[in-house]
């Protein structure tokens, strides 16, 4: 433990003479750090930095607060208070600042003490009123939560006291490394207790290795330890490196987790695309042709187990959907199945190269994330690969999809978005789609003057049908026309339009196809 009770005792001894008599000028916070701007008894400015993250918790002098730190609202009542005494309970990582009273303040509301608690996940700063209740805290903990409640107005409950090894003459209560240091050597234990009482410790720093961060001790605990001339600079160096490593490790975990999630989704989509290519899309059509060709030869109500293939005469097995299904109904069902398989095959052919390319890119990014020390790059990678994906998605207007040829397809969510999509964001030559004669979303295929394939038209029409009142119909007519031939209906509500020069395409809405179009629009940051 780099900031144990022994190191804290040394820092307390080094700081007490600067803090006693100092007045609080301001308190600023940034993430898990609190900067205390003081003016000491001689009128000189002093900055004390209290790090409250369990990974690099410590306290030391600081040259100044960073510009990004902001005034702490919870500590406003401390402005102007003067520190009368600084106290560390024996062998506890706790600090008490006793504050001077001010007669003009309301009795009972006075900030009488500031308590610093470096106690693992309970690390906190609390200021107390004269009546012993909590005024406010860096971390508020309401009643009902696990552990001690720390809430304005509640009585302050200190952390459980720890045994004093020197008073008990029991070295087993020392920090584990120190207990091993004095084991079997009573004279060394006595010297440690004398040093603790006087606070006369020298900082010893062990340099970090690739697998182990640096540490700071009060004795040369390891052969690699080297003395340092100043506690505050030693803590700044050691804790700064620990903070950098811990932050970097957390960013790397987040980035790699996002990349692994993206890899799993890409692998699933790749497997689906390969399965679509492997499936025989012509089999339903051949069976449907055979049912129509031979159905008239069978008596009404017959459901044969096989029918001969029209071209080869090979028996084709028939799976009837229900006991009363006719040859014509079965053929229509199989033709729909054939159309769906063909669309899935076309979609797979269009997306397969991109999926393989993105999987290779994910592998490259995972390899780079494992070896880089660039925190900004890892932070951006984590954000772009899923850590902020949901929030970013919610803030973007319109539902967004990608056609097989790579064109954006935008779908309005409501009347206001429909109106904005068509008349504010639609370009004159973009293709505009709407389900024929039923309420539904406006859909924009953002192709401009570039050529489009039949698959692009069917994809946009699929979305227009799916996001309409007819979205579950078997065959839905969808009109489309260049956006320049769409105009607002006079004196009508937003989203109601008139259009001309339209063409009609017939599609069958399919939730799986809509999902594939949505996933095709997910881009990966390179």
Looking at 395, 410, 435, the residue that finishes a domain is 395
pLDDT confidence tier of residue 210, bands split at 50, 70 and 90: confident
pLDDT tens, 195-205? Answer: 999 999 999 99
pLDDT per position as a tens digit, 80-118: 899 999 999 999 999 999 998 654 445 555 689 999 999
Quote the domain boundaries for residue 523.
Answer: 396-526
Identify whether 474 is part of a domain.
yes
Separation of alpha carbons 286 and 274, rounded Å? 22
Least confident of 95-104, 413-422, 429-438: 95-104
pLDDT tens digit sequence for 229-284: 999 999 999 999 999 999 999 999 989 998 998 899 889 989 988 998 999 989 99
Whether 348 and 376 share a structural domain: yes
93 found inside a domain? yes
Q: Please give the span between the terminal C-alpha atoms of the chain, in angstroms, as a whole number.
A: 39
Same domain, 409 and 359: no
Q: Are residues 424 and 520 in the same domain?
A: yes
3-state class of 357 per DSSP? helix
Q: Which strands sit side by side in the sheet containing 111-117, from one edge to the other?
A: 83-87, 94-99, 111-117, 124-129, 134-137
The total of structural domains in the chain comes to: 3
DSSP-based three-state secondary structure for 56? coil
State the pLDDT confidence band at 393, using cuts at 50, 70 and 90: very low
Do 133 and 35 lie in one domain? The reply is yes
Q: Which of 52, 63, 76, 61 is nearest to 139 (CA)?
A: 52
Residue 89 falls inside a structural domain:
yes
Of 73, 102, 137, the residue that ends a domain is 137
| DSSP per-residue codes, 61-107 | EES---TT-EE-GGGGGGTT-BEEEEE--TT-SEEEEEE---TTSPT
> Is 267 a member of any domain?
yes
Q: For the whole model, what pTM was predicted? A: 0.65
- Rounded distance, CA 274 to CA 335, Å? 22
Q: Are 406 and 362 in the same domain?
A: no
Judgement on whether residues 374 and 407 belong to the same structural domain of the protein = no
Q: Mean pLDDT, the chain, as a whole number?
A: 89
Residue 488 lies in a domain: yes
The pLDDT of residue 521 is above 60: no
pLDDT tens profile 298-325: 998 899 999 999 989 999 999 999 999 9
Distances from the Cα of 190 to the Cα of 166, 184, 186, 196, 398, angstroms: 8, 12, 6, 10, 73
Same domain, 14 and 131: yes
Query: Residue 213: inside a domain, yes or no?
Result: no
- Nearest Cα neighbor of 512 from 269, 315, 195, 265 is 269
Query: Can you give the CATH number for the domain in which 50 is found?
Result: 2.30.310.10
395, 415, 435: which is the final residue of a domain?
A: 395
Whether the Cβ atoms of residue 59 and residue 51 lie closer than 8 Å to each other: yes
- Is residue 92 a part of any domain in this protein? yes
pLDDT band at 15 (very low <50, low <70, confident <90, very high): very high
Please indicate, yes or no, whether residues 75 and 44 belong to a single structural domain of this protein.
yes
What band does 392 get if pLDDT is binned at 50, 70 and 90? Answer: very low
Q: Which of 45, 44, 241, 8 is nearest to 35 (CA)?
A: 45
Q: Is residue 422 part of a domain?
A: yes
């Amino acid at each position: 433990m780099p900031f144990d009770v022994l190191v804290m005792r040394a820092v307390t001894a080094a700081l007490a003479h600067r803090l006693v008599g100092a007045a609080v000028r301001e308190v600023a916070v940034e993430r898990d750090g609190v900067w205390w701007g003081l003016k000491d008894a001689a009128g000189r400015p002093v900055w004390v930095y209290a790090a409250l993250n369990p990974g690099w918790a410590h306290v030391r002098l600081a040259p100044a607060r960073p510009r990004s730190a902001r005034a702490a609202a919870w500590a406003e009542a401390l402005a102007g208070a003067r520190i009368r005494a600084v106290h560390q309970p024996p062998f506890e990582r706790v600090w008490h600042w006793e504050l001077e009273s001010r007669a003009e303040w309301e009795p009972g509301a006075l900030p009488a003490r500031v308590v610093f608690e470096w106690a693992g996940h309970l690390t906190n700063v609390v200021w107390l009123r004269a009546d012993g209740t909590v005024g406010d805290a860096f971390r508020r903990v309401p009643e009902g939560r696990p552990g001690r409640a720390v809430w304005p107005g509640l009585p302050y409950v200190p952390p459980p006291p720890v045994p004093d090894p020197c008073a008990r003459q029991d070295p087993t209560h020392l920090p584990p490394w120190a207990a091993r240091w004095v084991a079997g050597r009573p004279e060394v234990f006595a010297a440690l207790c004398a040093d603790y009482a006087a606070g006369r410790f020298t900082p010893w720093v062990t340099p970090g290795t690739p697998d182990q961060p640096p540490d700071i001790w009060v004795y040369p605990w390891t052969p690699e330890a080297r003395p340092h001339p100043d506690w505050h600079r030693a803590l700044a160096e050691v804790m700064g490196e620990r903070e950098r490593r811990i932050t970097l490790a957390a960013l790397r975990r987040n980035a790699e987790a996002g990349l692994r999630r993206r890899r799993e989704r890409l692998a699933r989509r790749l497997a689906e695309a390969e399965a679509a290519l492997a499936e025989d899309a012509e089999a339903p059509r051949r069976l449907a042709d055979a049912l129509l060709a031979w159905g008239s030869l069978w008596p009404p109500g017959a459901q044969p187990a096989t029918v001969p293939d029209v071209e080869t005469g090979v028996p084709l097995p028939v799976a009837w959907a229900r006991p009363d299904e006719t040859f014509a109904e079965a053929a229509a069902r199989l033709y729909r199945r054939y159309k769906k398989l063909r669309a899935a095959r076309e979609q797979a052919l269009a997306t397969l190269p991109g999926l393989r390319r993105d999987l290779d890119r994910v592998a490259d990014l995972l390899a780079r994330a494992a070896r880089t020390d660039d925190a900004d790059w890892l932070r951006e990678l984590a954000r772009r690969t899923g850590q902020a994906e949901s929030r970013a998605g919610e803030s973007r207007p319109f539902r967004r999809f990608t056609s097989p040829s790579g064109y954006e397809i935008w779908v309005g969510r409501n009347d206001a978005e429909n109106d904005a999509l068509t008349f504010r964001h639609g370009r004159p030559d973009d293709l505009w789609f709407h389900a024929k004669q039923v309420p539904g979303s406006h859909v924009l295929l953002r192709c401009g003057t570039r050529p489009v394939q039949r698959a692009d038209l069917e994809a946009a029409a699929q979305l227009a049908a799916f996001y309409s009142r007819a979205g579950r119909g078997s065959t839905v007519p969808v009109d489309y026309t260049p956006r320049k031939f769409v105009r607002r209906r006079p004196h009508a509500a937003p989203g109601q339009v008139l259009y001309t020069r339209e063409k009609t395409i017939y599609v069958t809405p399919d939730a799986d196809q809509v999902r594939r179009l949505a996933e095709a629009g997910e881009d990966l940051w390179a």
